[in-house]
């Protein structure tokens, strides 16, 4: 029995010794193997990918100068129209009455001026009275001109040949002055544009005259060439973006339609100094920001925030955040945290 007790004690001691040996063999700090790249900032052209919808340069919303009740709208969405064609009118009863009043007032002013002139010749009326009558006549004539103009402005005529894109109102509806009634565009060739929304950074970098390659979702197999012809001077409150207009160089192959969606790749003439890194190097990223791990001279990993200029698969272009660092971790970063010790094949 005593021998059995001694044997068990020796077995436990040997287990304890082995456990201590294993603990001593485990390093105090895990060293994580990674792959790295040497960082180099290069001057490079800027490329931007945009999406938007096709429209025309001469797209315009038509409205009545004077408000009122819409009497007739002669066209529907999709109708082809000719320049000068009557498209819609409002009820002219009230405006017609104003024209009649102005014409009656003009006749009275003419009689008053004739009477004052005759009396002045007979030295009965003074020069001032005759001049006042002349002024009243001039005012009455202008009131007739204005009334007749308002009569003509109570109808909408096509400002150009083209198509009706949208009908905003219906017959019998009461509308105010300047309320859009119809949206039309021109049918001329070579006036198609792609209108795209961009961020403030891209708006500042894209320049007038920059070349663009454009494709339409309706014609994905064909690439059209375009040029940046306009940049908005203010932000669109409905979208929170700035607008860029790309004019399509019409080659006669495609028949575009207003409202079709398209995509463009703009080769900007402006250049930027930036870093090109593989997609795998960026963690927790979105379109503007992301996190990467860099390595210092003591083989310690640091997690830093970087500014993403654009995604150019399979790479990402970083515009800022890597200043002062020489090495970037490209693989193995998923297992890292701030301060992790790393190693790699030299």
pLDDT by residue for the chain (346 residues), tens only, comes to 434 344 434 433 443 344 333 333 434 458 899 999 999 988 877 788 889 998 888 888 899 988 889 999 999 998 999 999 999 999 888 888 889 999 999 999 999 999 999 998 888 888 899 899 999 999 999 999 998 888 888 889 998 888 898 899 999 999 988 899 999 987 655 578 899 998 887 888 888 998 999 988 888 888 888 999 999 888 888 788 899 999 988 655 567 777 889 999 888 777 788 899 999 999 887 778 899 999 998 999 999 999 988 777 788 888 899 998 999 999 998 889 899 999 987 6
107: helix, strand or coil: helix
* Gap between the Cα atoms of 167 and 184, Å rounded: 9
Same fold, 62-88+156-184 and 93-153: no
Count how many Cα atoms sit within 13 Å of the Cα of residue 22 in the half-sphere of its side chain: 6
Does this model's pTM top 0.85? My answer is: no
Q: Quote the pLDDT of residue 219.
A: 82
CA atoms of 300 and 137, how far apart (whole Å): 93
Domain covering 31-44+273-343 in this structure, CATH number: 2.40.420.20
- Other C-beta atoms lying within 10 Å of the C-beta of residue 140: 20
62 and 166 in contact (C-beta within 8 Å)? no
The answer to whether the bond into 192 is cis (omega within 30° of 0) is no
Give the integer Cα–Cα distance in Å for 125 and 228. Answer: 70
- CATH pick for 93-153 out of 2.60.40, 3.30.2020, 1.10.1660, 1.10.287: 1.10.287
pLDDT at 143: 92
Please report, for the chain, the start and end positions of each structural domain, with discontinuous segments joined by +. 31-44+273-343, 50-59+185-271, 62-88+156-184, 93-153
Residue where the block lists tokens 């895990």: 30
What is the pLDDT at residue 23? 37
Position 254 scores a pLDDT of: 62
Describe the crossing of helices 127-152 and 93-121 by its angle, rounded to 10 degrees. Answer: 160
**Phi, psi angles (nearest 5°) of residue 192:** -75, 140
Find out if CATH 2.60.120.10 is the number for domain 50-59+185-271. no
For tokens 């005593």, what's the residue? 2
Residue 310: closest CA among 269, 277, 261: 277
Residue 138: C-alpha distances to residues 100, 117, 133, 135 (Å): 17, 15, 9, 5
CATH class, 62-88+156-184 region = mainly beta
Residues 31 and 342: beta-carbon distance below 8 Å: yes
pLDDT score of 29: 57
Neighbouring-strand partners of residue 300: 341
Tell me if 226 sits within 8 A of 247, measured CB to CB: yes
């Amino acid at each position: 029995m005593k021998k059995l007790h001694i044997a068990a004690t020796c077995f436990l001691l040997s287990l304890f010794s082995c456990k201590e040996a294993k603990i001593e063999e485990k390093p105090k700090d895990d060293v994580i193997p990674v792959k790295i790249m040497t960082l180099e900032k290069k001057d490079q052209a800027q490329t931007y990918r945009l999406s938007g919808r096709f429209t025309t340069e001469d797209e315009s919303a038509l409205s009545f100068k004077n408000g009122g009740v819409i009497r007739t709208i002669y066209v529907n969405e999709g109708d082809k129209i000719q320049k000068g064609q009557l498209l819609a009118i409002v009820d002219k009863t009230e405006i017609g009455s104003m024209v009649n009043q102005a014409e009656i007032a003009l006749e009275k002013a003419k009689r008053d001026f004739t009477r004052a002139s005759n009396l002045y010749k007979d030295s009965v009326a003074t020069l001032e009275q005759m001049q006042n009558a002349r002024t009243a006549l001039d005012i009455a004539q202008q009131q007739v001109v204005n009334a007749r103009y308002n009569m003509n402005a109570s109808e909408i005529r096509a400002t150009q040949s083209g198509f009706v894109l949208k009908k905003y109102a219906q017959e019998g509806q009461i509308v105010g002055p300047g309320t859009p009634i119809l949206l039309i565009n021109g049918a001329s060739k070579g006036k198609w544009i792609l209108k795209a929304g961009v961020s403030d950074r891209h708006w500042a970098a894209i320049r007038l005259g920059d070349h663009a390659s454009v494709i339409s979702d309706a014609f994905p197999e064909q690439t059209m060439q375009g040029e940046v012809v306009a940049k908005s001077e203010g932000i669109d409150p409905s979208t929170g973006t700035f607008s860029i207009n790309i004019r399509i160089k019409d080659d006669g192959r495609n028949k575009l339609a207003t409202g079709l969606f398209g995509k463009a790749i703009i080769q900007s003439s402006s250049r930027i100094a930036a870093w090109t890194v593989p997609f795998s190097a960026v963690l927790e990223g979105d379109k503007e920001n992301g996190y990467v791990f860099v390595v210092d001279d003591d083989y310690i990993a640091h997690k830093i925030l970087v500014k993403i200029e654009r995604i150019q698969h399979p790479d990402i272009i970083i515009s800022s955040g890597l200043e002062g660092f020489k090495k970037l971790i490209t693989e193995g970063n998923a297992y890292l945290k701030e301060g992790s010790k790393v190693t790699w094949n030299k």
